[in-house]
Chains A and B, each alone.
Chain A
Amino acid sequence: MEILFAIIIGVLYAAGIYMILRRSLVKLIIGIILLGNGANLLIFLLGRISEGAPPIIPEESKVFLEAYADPVPQALILTAIVISFGLQSFAIILVKRAHKVVKTDDLDEMNATDEDS
């Protein structure tokens, strides 16, 4: 399964970058979201995955009795997901404003600030 996971992650990273490389603002946002998902999954995978052993201590016990999944990556991902959400929602609004002000969806037309002035 790890191989499949690795492929999924690779696909998400690739798709994310590919979408960021497009000229459309909307695709840019989609790319960012995909990339974020890829990074989260990578943390998940590299923290070593295990099936059916959530890191929750059983009701009747005070310590784990059997193998459990590493809780740390999960905590990290939770933080990362929430942060990404904050950034993404900001980005969505930014894109909306940019589209309204610059009046184009085409990123190639947004290069006034790089020109000599």
Chain B
Amino acid sequence: MTQQLILYPLLLQLLLSILLMFFWYRINAQRVISILGSILHLGLTIFVFSFIWNNGTQTLQAGSWEAPFGITFIADSLAITLVLLTAIAGLAVSIFSSSAMIPDRLRFGYFPIFHFLLLGLNGAFLTGDIFNLYVWFEIIIISSFVLITLGGEKAQLEGAVKYFTLNFLASMIFLTAIAVLYGLTGSLNMADLAIKVSEIENRALVQITAVLFLIGFGIKAAVFPLYFWLPASYHTPPSAVSAIFGGLLTKVGVYALIRVFSLIFVGDAFLDEILLVIAILTLFSGGVGALVQNNIKKVFSYLIICHIGYMILGLGMFTEVAIAGAIFYLIHDIIVKTNLFMVSGLIYRIKGSSSMRALGGFYSNYPKLSLLIFIPLFSLVGIPPLSGFWPKISLITASFDTQSYWGLAGIIFASFITLVVIAKLWAEVFWKNPGEIPKRKKFDYFHKMGKYRKLGFVVPIVFLSFVSLYIGFGAENIQILSSRVAQELMDKQLYIDAVFNNAQNPK
């Protein structure tokens, strides 16, 4: 019973996707199923999470084939935390989608694909097999391709071509890396790889393999200089899609990097150095990119890139404190980025524009809403004690410990730029008097919507804002979690034992 526990989130999402396909044209039914399903999913993952929290890492060998022969599923603290965050963000976006997505898109399979995407995310977090990870990645990218093109507008398609090509390239590099790794070790199970790779004598080949993984995952995580697809495409689909992309897609790349570089390719000074350089340049490029944008969705897109840098930096410094910082940031970032893209969708619905120059006057017209939006915006900046602040303690401390002063400079630079960018955004969108925005005919303005539809916009934002507040004010709990994840990651033997000795300690 408990063995299969970690599969339930996967099965539930799969079931939801299939169920939703049966209601192809009945979009109201789809809305209800999706929201209820997501609530159920959240409840289930909370249960699984608490189970793992109390009982430690759980593994499952698919088809009962012993590791390393079958496909292993493993839920350690990191994996289950991400599954939980996916469930939280998923629920919010599900509610948001039911209001924000126009019926046309819903009639073309938006919800089933959305749940396939969540399935893929869950699978990627839970799998313990590198080729299986590739397959989950493929399900994620094909779902994201469909979501990003759904609607077929010009901008969407232009963005999608780039998005597709670069992500396909990433997959191919990933596949190449798997080929090399299999050639070197004859294994695909990650725990097994952790053992076998450390035994390989030709370290140069190991480094090359690691670099291939770094680039394959790096493209997906959108780090410098591989992030191009993100600013080219993230602002083109509807906000609900951007929200789930912005919150979770790049984070899968980050997750994969963390997993691979803490488990398989560990303790290589050269690789750590590369990670550090990449991280710092990512912080820099994302920051300056955000500084020059005018479209709020693009601002957020560049901020995604910028903040990926924090996590990679934590990984590059590779001390327990640094990893804990990276994990804390990851937790904070998933929630807040998802929220911000929903916010941008709401702003767009209210005014019919995403241009900072044109927008304005929110504060006087929508004071309560502004106050609500203040929470994710300034959590992002990391105004203490909001959520973005805490991980910086770990990261800065770690940068002193490891004496990576460029890293420190990167953190401060990025924090400063984020502060300036968000303050500017606040001044432009919320304070200044609005510019002339031509009224659009046939546009679903927010103020014309019914009460329930409005709630569909606002409730998920409130929900995630509260989660952000919890992360900020309950930082103690999050830090305990992050430290535990970091401890597990720093000691790869724990992971290996969990995979191989599962039979000995059944629980």
A and B in direct contact, judged by CB atoms within 8 A = yes
Give me the interface of A with B, judged by CB distance under 8 Å. Answer: 16, 20, 25, 28, 32, 35-36, 38-39, 42-43, 45-48, 70, 72-73, 76, 79-80, 83, 86-87, 90-91, 94-95, 97-98, 101-102, 107, 110-114, 116-117
* Contact yes or no, A102 B179, CB < 8 A: no
Q: A28-B165, A117-B295 are in contact. Are A112 and B355 (CB under 8 A)?
A: no
Q: Residues of B contacting A39 with CB < 8 Å? A: 172, 175-176, 179
Q: A86-B142, A107-B161, A113-B233 are in contact. Are A20 and B169 (CB under 8 A)?
A: yes
Q: A39-B175, A98-B161 are in contact. Are A90 and B155 (CB under 8 A)?
A: no
In the assembled complex, B188 has its CB within 8 A of some CB on chain A? yes
- By beta carbon, the residue of chain B nearest A31 is B165
Q: Residues of A contacting B233 with CB < 8 Å? A: 113
State how many angstroms separate the Cβ of A75 from the closest Cβ of chain B.
Answer: 9
Contact of A110 among B134, B161, B178 (CB under 8 A): B161
Q: Residues of A contacting B154 with CB < 8 Å? A: 101-102, 112
Q: A72-B182, A87-B138, A87-B168 are in contact. Are A117 and B355 (CB under 8 A)?
A: yes
Q: Total A-B pairs in contact (CB under 8 Å)? A: 111
- By beta carbon, the residue of chain A nearest B295 is A117
Contact of A113 among B142, B235, B293, B294 (CB under 8 A): B235
Q: Residues of B contacting A20 with CB < 8 Å? A: 165, 169
* Contact yes or no, B161 A101, CB < 8 A: no
- By beta carbon, the residue of chain B nearest A103 is B154
In the assembled complex, B292 has its CB within 8 A of some CB on chain A? yes
* Contact yes or no, B168 A112, CB < 8 A: no
| Number of B residues, CB within 8 Å of A | 45
Q: Residues of A contacting B134 with CB < 8 Å? A: 80
Contact of B231 among A25, A91, A107, A114 (CB under 8 A): A114
Q: Residues of A contacting B164 with CB < 8 Å? A: 90-91, 94
Q: Residues of A contacting B152 with CB < 8 Å? A: 97, 101
* Contact yes or no, B157 A97, CB < 8 A: yes
Q: A90-B145, A94-B157, A114-B232 are in contact. Are A36 and B180 (CB under 8 A)?
A: no
Q: Residues of B contacting A79 with CB < 8 Å? A: 131, 135
In the assembled complex, B149 has its CB within 8 A of some CB on chain A? yes
Specify the main secondary structure of chain B where it touches its partner. Answer: helix
In the assembled complex, B63 has its CB within 8 A of some CB on chain A? no
Name the 6 nearest CB pairs between A and B, nearest first.
Answer: A46-B183, A43-B179, A98-B157, A110-B158, A42-B179, A39-B175
Query: A39 vs B164: C-alpha distance in the bound complex, in angstroms?
Result: 17
Q: Residues of A contacting B160 with CB < 8 Å? A: 94, 98
Specify the main secondary structure of chain A where it touches its partner. Answer: helix
In the assembled complex, B382 has its CB within 8 A of some CB on chain A? no
State how many angstroms separate the Cβ of B408 from the closest Cβ of chain A.
Answer: 31
For this complex, 25 residue pairs linking A to B, each with C-beta atoms less than 8 Å apart, are: A32-B165, A43-B178, A46-B183, A47-B182, A48-B183, A72-B188, A76-B131, A76-B178, A76-B188, A79-B135, A87-B138, A87-B142, A90-B146, A94-B149, A95-B161, A97-B149, A97-B152, A98-B160, A101-B154, A107-B161, A110-B158, A110-B162, A113-B155, A113-B233, A117-B295
Query: A41 vs B114: C-alpha distance in the bound complex, in angstroms?
Result: 33
In the assembled complex, B236 has its CB within 8 A of some CB on chain A? yes
Query: A87 vs B293: C-alpha distance in the bound complex, in angstroms?
Result: 32
Query: A34 vs B306: C-alpha distance in the bound complex, in angstroms?
Result: 34
State how many angstroms separate the Cβ of A106 from the closest Cβ of chain B.
Answer: 12
Query: A101 vs B295: C-alpha distance in the bound complex, in angstroms?
Result: 23
Q: Residues of A contacting B162 with CB < 8 Å? A: 110, 113
Query: A67 vs B159: C-alpha distance in the bound complex, in angstroms?
Result: 50
Q: A46-B182, A46-B183 are in contact. Are A35 and B157 (CB under 8 A)?
A: no
